[in-house]
Chains A and B, each alone.
Chain A
Amino acid sequence: MIVRGKIENLCCGNCAAKMQDKIAKLDGVLEVKISFITQKIILDVQDGNFENLLAEVEKIIRKIEPDCKVKFEAGV
């Protein structure tokens, strides 16, 4: 299951790299990529209930950059 999202107020390239690292280590995340330039996140998560997982992802992002806002959109 692919989930895309937009990360607002992402203002540091290195932080984006750190987020990507941490999120990749979450259980249920098969792949994650964050583009600092377009402020996008794309996640490949295991099928099933991933609402909790997205909450986890958001928590990590906010922990690294507290000003960030994440908006997920259900993908294909």
Chain B
Amino acid sequence: MNALYIMIPLAMLLAGGFVGAFIWATKSGQWDDLDLAAHKAMTESNGKGESQE
């Protein structure tokens, strides 16, 4: 039974971590663009704009 006193905070921490990650993902617009991002990953090496001369 005593194990619960460790398990419960751990479980809550884990759940909190997931919720935190979800909040971060939503706020930083991870669900906004579900198509182009996947394609950009394929051309990552030359896809980024280079700094302007």
Q: Is this pair of chains taken from one and the same complex?
A: no
